[in-house]
Amino acid sequence: MRHYTELLRAAVTASLMLVAIGGAAVAGPLEDAEAAWKRNDYATAFRLFHSLAEQGDSTAQKRLGEMYELGESVPQDYAEAVVWYRRAADQGSKIAQWLLGTMYQTGYGVQQDYVQAHMWYNLSAARGWGEAAVARTILERAMTPAQVAEAQKLAREWKPKPENDKFRAIERTSEAATSPAARARSGGAGWLDPSHVR
């Protein structure tokens, strides 16, 4: 029995070591880019994020938008920030949708458009981003009822636009989860369900 216990302990120790080693090896380009950004190595972060963003990674696209908006390693350029926010928002990134809404509300990088701002805030809020719900509520005070209705209609009609196969697979999974049958099984609605948009 003692021999069995020692073998089990050795097997568990070996398994834990493999998990620890494997976990370190899992870090990829996005994690490297985030780590560079967090240590303020913006030149490295920009290079890594840009490569990923061009491949359709919405997290990298959103981060590039932030770098352009704030002028981190690149000249501050609101219009370029909007380009990257839009690409990420079009894929369904709730934070990028909120950030794009702020650009439309303020007119930074785009012509000021409260209807578009509300639409993007609404989509982001429907995905659970609380800041977007607050921004939408505040913005509604400056809008006419017709503008709010138009923005709500646009949000209900919006569909994500994945840029590559990896993200298309995620969209297919999301669509399956938001089918009427899936909603009935779960008792609720998925993130693409128009009932989440007000």
Length of the chain: 198
- Per the structure block, which two tokens stand in for 60? 């990298």
* Domains recognised in the chain with CATH numbers: 28-164+189-196 (1.25.40.10)
The answer for residues whose C-beta is within 8 angstroms of residue 114's C-beta and 6 or more apart is 104, 105, 139, 142, 143, 147, 151
Amino acid at 167: F
Find the radius of gyration of the CA atoms of the chain.
21
pLDDT for residue 187: 38
pLDDT for residue 93: 95
* Ordered per-residue pLDDT tens for the chain, 198 residues: 554 445 435 444 444 444 344 444 446 889 999 999 999 999 999 999 999 999 999 999 999 999 999 999 999 999 999 999 999 999 999 999 999 999 999 999 999 999 999 999 999 999 999 999 999 999 999 999 999 999 999 999 999 998 875 544 443 343 333 333 333 333 333 344 444 556
What DSSP letter does each residue of 87-153 carry, written as one string? HHHHTT-HHHHHHHHHHHHHTSSS---HHHHHHHHHHHHHTT-HHHHHHHHHHHTTS-HHHHHHHHH
pTM, two decimal places: 0.72
